Amino acid sequence: MCKKVLVLSGSPRKGGNSDTLCDQFIKGAEELGHSAVKIYVKDCKIGSCNACYACKKSGICVQKDDMTDILQQMIDVDVIVLATPVYFYSMNGQMKTLIDRTLPRYTEIKDKDFYFIATAADGKSKMERTIDSLRGFTDCLPMSRVKGVIYGQGAWQLGDIQGSKAMHEAYETGKNA
C-alpha cells in the first residue's frame, strides 16, 4: 500500500545533519513506492501561538500564515516525520512553534505513524529529553504511533552525519515506513 509521508525538517540549514537524515528517510520511503513531501520549517511563515483560543470555537487560527496549509497536510498524510537538531537538550524553536500551532485541529491529526529524527553533538542519552518532548506531542494525538527514532549522534558541524550509522538507519527506516 502506497503511503503519503510528510517530513517536517526543523533544521535551520538545508543540507544540515538532521535535514540530511530526512533525505535518507525519503529516499528509502520513495524506493518502496511511498510518496513523500518535505517541508523546511525554517522557510515557512509560522507565528507563535497567541493563546487567544479563538480556534477552540471555530477550529481556525486567527493568524493567516503557512501553518494552515501545513496543518491540513498533517491531517491528510499517513506518516509524519518530525526532525530537529537538538539545542540545549531540546527541539529547536522552529519545531516547537509548529507543534504549538497545531492546537486548532490537533485532534484531527489522528491514526498516524510517527518517526522522530534528532541530531546532536552528544550521544543518544543526551537526546532523550528531545525525544520525550516529541513523544509528549504525539501522546496528545488520537491513535498515534511512534514507529521509530533515529539518533544522529556526534553530529555538530555541518556534514558530521555523513557516513554515520544514522544515515543507514534513516534510509532503512524510510523503507519500512
The ranges of the chain with pLDDT < 50 are none
| Structural domain 4-175, CATH architecture | 3-Layer(aba) Sandwich (3.40)
Q: What is the pLDDT, as a whole number, of residue 1?
A: 82
Q: What is the pLDDT, as a whole number, of residue 174?
A: 97
Q: Could you tell me whether strands 79-87 and 113-119 are parallel, antiparallel, or unpaired per DSSP bridges?
A: parallel
Query: Nearest-CA neighbor of 61 among 73, 75, 47, 74?
Result: 47
Q: What is the pLDDT, as a whole number, of residue 23?
A: 98
DSSP for 24-89?
A: HHHHHHHHTT-EEEEEEGGGS--PPP----THHHHSS-SS-STHHHHHHHHHH-SEEEEEEEEETT
